[in-house]
Structure 1
């Protein structure tokens, strides 16, 4: 390995959404920093199989309004 070109690799604490935590090594932050996860394998629909539709800031409503008539044909 070349010296001086690689980021510092150190231990950090990762806190999952349910409050459980573990220590791992990472290039994130400084030694001893804490990383709080918003989404992890215990809460993400891809792993849990539970789907939730979150309308953040009305984005889904905006999409539905914009493309409401996309599939309908005009008769004429």
Structure 2
């Protein structure tokens, strides 16, 4: 790899603003704010709007969309073949 053209890759805390869930991982993203993690070290924090802790699919709160009405409307409009 060429030196000097790649972004810095280091530990970053991602924090879900909806649920308060946070996890430490490595990324090229950086944040302006820092947070003291469980190990006592300060890491940059990136606030995200949704994560696996608040996403409806992963929490089991996903809504089921009624597709029967759409199929019937399509068949009425274009005819069943």
Greater strand proportion: 2
Question: CA separation in 1, counterparts of 2:10 and 2:30?
Answer: 9
Whether 1:9 aligns to 2:20 is: no
Q: Which runs of 5+ in 2 are unaligned?
A: 33-42, 64-73
TM value normalised by structure 2: 0.49
TM value normalised by structure 1: 0.52
SS in 2 for 1:33: strand
Question: CA separation in 2, counterparts of 1:20 and 1:45?
Answer: 15
Q: Check conservation: 2:13, 2:24, Cα contact below 8 A.
A: yes
Could you tell me how far 1:43 is from its partner in structure 2? 1.4
Where relative contact order (Cα < 8 A, 6+ residues apart) is larger, the structure is 2
Describe how 1:24-35 pairs up with structure 2 within 5 A. 24-29=25-30, 32-35=43-46
Q: Which runs of 5+ in 1 are unaligned?
A: 53-70
